[in-house]
Structure formats: structure tokens, C-alpha cells
Amino acid sequence: MSDCIFCNIINKNSPADILHEDDDFIVVKDIKPTAPVHLLIIPKEHIDSINHIEKKHRELIGDMFLLAKKTAHDYEISEGYKLAFNTGRKGGQLIDHLHLHLMGGWNEEQK
């Protein structure tokens, strides 16, 4: 999808600091972080949202959580973090390419 920000990042048509890349995913820093550590786990396949996942995506979605767990470990926030899929405009979704927010790094009193 040429008008999709995340597809453009995945295809290297837009610049981004890619922290991790494998056959199925990229991980980037959110450009407007709302947590001390705010990363986005993004599948390379363009899927609009959780409303658009199908049975064929079961393994991909499972792998997304495993990558989130590994990334939390790598960025030393495994002690506590939040994972979120904003879904639909009323759910706060701004970019219609599935992504999992990984947020953490707060002190005890900040969360």
C-alpha cells in the first residue's frame, strides 16, 4: 500500500530507525512516545487492524507477542510493560496498518 506510512517504512521508502527486522516484522521507536520506552511491533504484511485479522494470521499474531516479550527483555523493561492494539478511530487508531504498542520504563510512581 503506497499511501501507508508503515508499508513505506517497511519498504525503505520512508526513513526510520529500525531497531529489529526479520522476515515477518519490524520494530521501531514511536515518533511521539507516550512512555519512556515506546516501541511499535509492526508486521510486514499490511493488515488494517485487529478487526481485519483472520484464522490464517494466528501464527503471525502469536509471533507478534513472542517478539514483544523478547523486545521487552532486550530493552530491559520486562519487569513491567503495557501492550496495546488501538483499533478503529474510536479506539484511538491513527494508522491503519496493524501494530502492537510496547510501552514501559516507568518508575513505580509514574505508572
Q: For ligand 5GP, how many residues bind (rule: CB under 6 A)?
A: 13
20 catalytically annotated:
no
Cell matching residue 42? 509492526
What region does 88 belong to: left with phi over 0, alpha with psi -120 to 50, or beta?
A: left
Q: Which member of 20, 38, 99, 101 is catalytic?
A: 99
Q: Under the criterion CB under 6 A, does residue 94 sit at the interface with ligand 5GP?
A: yes
Binding window for ligand 5GP (CB under 6 A); candidates: 53-61, 62-70, 71-79, 85-93: 85-93
Nearest residue (CB) to ligand 5GP, 66 versus 94: 94
Which one of ligand 5GP, Zn ion, none interacts with residue 4, CB within 5 to 8 A by kind? Zn ion
Residue 73 exposed, middle or buried by CB count within 10 Å (0-12, 13-18, 19+): exposed
Minimum separation from the CB atom of position 46 to Zn ion (A): 4
CA atoms within 13 Å, Cβ hemisphere of 96: 10
Enter the DSSP assignment of 83: E
